[in-house]
Structure 1
Amino acid sequence: MSVLIVIPARYASQRYPGKPLVALRGADGQSRSLIERSWLAARAVGGVDRVVVATDDDRIREAAEAFGAEVVMTSSDCRNGTERCAEAHATLGGGHDVVVNLQGDAPLTPHWFVEDLVSGLRAAPDAEIATPVLRCEGATLNGFLDDRKAGRVGGTTAVFGRKRQALYFSKEVIPFTSRSYADAEPTPVFHHVGVYAYRPEALAAYPGWDIGPLEQQEGLEQLRFMENGREVLCVEVEARGRQFWELNNPEDVPRLEAMMAAMKLE
């Protein structure tokens, strides 16, 4: 089964313009751009046939080519990363059995998250799209709640049924919980990890669907699959002691750098 990883990256983010080129300092003191760190994370995934950066911006293209990435130029009309992945796969001529969207703002994504995701999709022949979820410990949940209190968009949470079919994704913390948790204590809240694995037919259909009210309200691209009756498979992954966070806001830069320092990630 042929696997392609696409890293969609755009410069003109409404929340954080130029985010892919933001520098992050590793444990060795060396700074690398967010897009380079995301590319390195993708390159660490086993069983992958090809890794490409998909962008519509020459500044990102030049930066990515400078550190050795293969780049696919896509339209500025792409409304989100999934549409950019669909265009990139089509531009490359298709032919891959699984297309993985490893978003360019998640440089701390461990390789086993993606490997387990692809394995989960392979084991579910009826599933058209899969995405990882990670059970929050108290410290992560408290970080989500602090972000919301401060008016910041933090992590996305997910709820799913017994067969791991997604019921909903939200930038609010769901399900509701009224109690507090110790830092290392497991909670009933699952952090949605912003990685997707698609079968090519579902990916190709996606750009032709209108944006629905839930996707519009939440700003979460995976909701378009659900609003069009496509089942999203949630694959639970384990942190194995690894800290994980996406770069959503400028305030996340020191948070990610502190995590890299603590985990001795260069």
Structure 2
Amino acid sequence: MSVLIVIPARYASSRYPGKPLATLTGATGETKSLIQRSWEAACQVAGVDRVVVATDDARIKSAAEAFGAEVVMTSESCGNGTERCAEALQNLGGGYDIIVNLQGDAPLTPHWFVEDLVKGLRADPEAEVATPVLRCEGRALNGFLQDRAAGRVGGTTAVFGTGGRALYFSKEVIPYTGQSYGDDALTPVFHHVGVYAYRPAALADYAGWDMGPLEALEGLEQLRFLERGRPVLCVEVEARGRQFWELNNPEDVPRIQTMMAEMGMA
């Protein structure tokens, strides 16, 4: 099965305008843009046939081409990354069995998250969409709770049932536990990792659907599949000692840079 990775990137983020061009300094002091670090993460994934950046902004296009990325221009009307992936696939002429949406705000995504995700979708012929979930340690869960108490969205959590079928995703911390956990303790809360793998038909269908009320409330694109009754497979992945966090807010820059320093990431 041929695999395409699309990195959707837009300049006009409501929470963080210009986010793809924000810079992150690694453990060696080298500074690179968020979009470059996301592209480099995508290039480390094994078994991928092509990696492209999909954007509607000339500044992002110029920056991405400067570090060697292939860029596909998409329209400004794309409402989210999944819609941008659908348009990018169409502009490329199709021809891929699995399309991975590796969002441009997750440079700490380990290559095995994506490899395990693709493997999970291949192994489940009834699944149309798959996404990784990572069991939270106490440190990550406490970070979520602190962000919510401060009025920030620190990440998305997922709940799923038999066979890994998603039940719901939320920017609130679900399920409710009513407990406190030590930093290294495993918790029953799963962090939704912002990566998706789609079959082409599901991606094409998505682009033709209107936004549903839950998607509008939560601001989570994957809920459009659940609201249409389409199965989403949650694939549990392992951290293997790696820390993971998405860049959602400007306040996340120092947090991610600290994680990079602790993990020795250049």
Shift in Å, 1:58: 0.1
Q: TM-score, normalised by structure 2?
A: 1.00
SS in 2 for 1:197: strand
Q: Deviations over 1:63-94 (max 9, x none)?
A: 00000000000000000000000000010000
Shift in Å, 1:162: 1.7
Aligned partner of 1:213 in structure 2 is 213
1:192 equivalenced with 2:192 (yes/no): yes
| Alignment partners' CA distance in 1, 2:207 and 2:217 | 18
| Alignment partners' CA distance in 1, 2:231 and 2:122 | 15
Shift in Å, 1:201: 0.4
Q: Deviations over 1:4-39 (max 9, x none)?
A: 000000000011000000000001101000000000
Structure 2 unaligned regions, length at least 5: none
Aligned partner of 1:96 in structure 2 is 96
1:238 equivalenced with 2:242 (yes/no): no
Which structure 1 residue ranges, 4+ long, deviate > 2 Å from structure 2? none
Shift in Å, 1:259: 0.4
Q: Which amino acid aligns with 1:187?
A: T
| Alignment partners' CA distance in 1, 2:76 and 2:28 | 36
Aligned partner of 2:13 in structure 1 is 13
SS in 2 for 1:117: helix
Aligned partner of 1:171 in structure 2 is 171
Aligned partner of 2:159 in structure 1 is 159
| Alignment partners' CA distance in 2, 1:98 and 1:162 | 24
Q: Which amino acid aligns with 1:140?
A: A
| Alignment partners' CA distance in 1, 2:130 and 2:35 | 23
Aligned partner of 2:43 in structure 1 is 43
Aligned partner of 2:4 in structure 1 is 4
Aligned partner of 2:258 in structure 1 is 258
| Alignment partners' CA distance in 2, 1:204 and 1:41 | 26
SS in 2 for 1:163: helix
| Alignment partners' CA distance in 2, 1:223 and 1:252 | 24
| Alignment partners' CA distance in 2, 1:28 and 1:90 | 40
**5 Å matches for 1:109-120?**
109-120=109-120
Structure 1 unaligned regions, length at least 5: none
| Alignment partners' CA distance in 1, 2:159 and 2:10 | 29
Shift in Å, 1:177: 1.1
SS in 2 for 1:143: helix
Q: Which amino acid aligns with 2:259?
A: M
SS in 2 for 1:32: strand
Aligned partner of 2:107 in structure 1 is 107
Shift in Å, 1:96: 0.1
Q: Which amino acid aligns with 1:121?
A: L
| Alignment partners' CA distance in 1, 2:225 and 2:245 | 24
SS in 2 for 1:191: strand
SS in 2 for 1:28: coil
Aligned partner of 1:127 in structure 2 is 127
Report sequence identity in percent: 77
Q: Deviations over 1:112-170 (max 9, x none)?
A: 00000000000000100000000000000000000000000111000000211000000
Q: How many residues align?
A: 266
SS in 1 for 2:136: strand
